[in-house]
Amino acid sequence: MANTGVLNRGWVFRLETTPGQNIALLAQTDGRRGIWNMLHEWWQMSSSHHLPSTKDLDTVVRQGRKDIDWMAAVPAQAAQQVIRDYLGAWRKCWAGHGTVGPPRFRSRHRDRPSLDAPQARDLCITRISDKFSTINIAKIGKVTFRRHRAIPSSARITGATLAYSQGHWWVALRMQLRRPTPLPTDRPPVGADRGITIPVALSDATFVDHPDWLTPAEKRRMLLLERRCARQRHHRWDTRGKRTPLGGERSQNLRGDHRPAGAGRATTPGLAAQPVPLPRQYLLRGGDGKAQRHGHERIRVRNCGRTRDERRPETRTQPRHPRQSMVIPATENRLQS
């Protein structure tokens, strides 16, 4: 039965590794991936009635660490943890937990380099200053990590996981913390909703604010970003639908030149709009219209009270690329109950 008074947590710290330690960690992660792929290949080659047992896998890994150099670079406990992880992956697949599929081969480019240290007694975490501490890694030695948060003295560390991400090595300490006992109170229970502008909103119409979350410099930075966002939003909405310096209208107004009024919506209940493409010659009237200015021709669109001016060369009577217009008549749409 699980202990309800214990919380399992994982705290992540960044390691301050040297170039030599980076090479050693990469060698260990490559060996761990190679052991996984070797076990998976052996499993696929075996018959479904004669699958290798845990003892067979352990024997092969032990012998391989004696004969093969890249397997010898992996610590013994980490190599044994690879066997447990591989068998656990098959058990999760057989149990059908969610969308968990069968194990697959691991690739250097697809999978993140990681290494597990199941023995917490070998970590030997030592504090050397207010910001830094050291941790002991098998076959590497002491590695400094940045201690951005204090580890409680009552916490029980059960293991660690090393991973490479974003150009740095990270260590995740698995620890067990005591579950805090809630203080007795006579207030009625309320619901809480977490937000962004307001941290916590309670169901009794009260709010919980934390003004000390941001430093003065962060507040000034946030104010500058909010002002910049407001200027960009105002500029984006303010330039829509206005005329250009040359006197022409923007595309938002030009889109409705050849569209009849009310074509974008069904005015009668039970009717729906269906677009029907029509040739340009059926939409134009007055092909012999008089030119108002040199190089311009007045065009009136049928079924539409709008007019527009279109610049055309004097040597052509029709444009090179005629514009396709759309008329959206209302058609009956029978709704099924």
Break the chain into its structural domains and give their ranges.
Answer: 6-176
Continuous segment of H or E residues that includes residue 8? strand 6-16
Structural tokens at position 111: 């999978």
Question: What is the structure's pLDDT at 264?
Answer: 44
Question: What is the structure's pLDDT at 299?
Answer: 46
Question: What is the structure's pLDDT at 250?
Answer: 46
pLDDT in tens, 269-297: 444 444 555 554 444 444 444 444 444 44
Q: What is the pTM of this model?
A: 0.55
Query: What's the chain's length in residues?
Result: 337
List the Cα angle 261/327/242 in 5-degree steps. 50
Q: Could you tell me which residues come within 8 angstroms of residue 174 by beta carbon, excluding any fewer than 6 positions away?
A: 8, 9, 10, 120, 157, 158, 159, 160, 161
65 within 8 A of 76, measured Cβ to Cβ: yes
Burial status of residue 287 (CB atoms within 10 A of its CB: 0-12, 13-18, 19 or more): exposed
137 within 8 A of 162, measured Cβ to Cβ: yes
Question: What is the structure's pLDDT at 37?
Answer: 94
Pick out the chain residues at pLDDT < 50: 1-2, 241, 243-274, 280-317, 322, 324-337
Q: In what order do the strands lie in the sheet with 296-301?
A: 284-285, 296-301, 307-311
Question: What is the structure's pLDDT at 31?
Answer: 93
Tokens 């490479």 correspond to 164
Question: What is the structure's pLDDT at 63?
Answer: 94
Tokens 């501490």 correspond to 133
Cα separation of 61 and 72, whole Å? 10
What are the distances in angstroms from CA 277 to CA 274, 280, 283, 308, 325?
10, 9, 11, 21, 7
Ranges of beta strands (E only) in 147-216 are 156-165, 168-178, 192-194, 200-202, 207-208
Question: What is the structure's pLDDT at 71?
Answer: 93
What are the distances in angstroms from CA 30 to CA 21, 59, 69, 161?
14, 20, 12, 15
Amino acid letter, 319: P
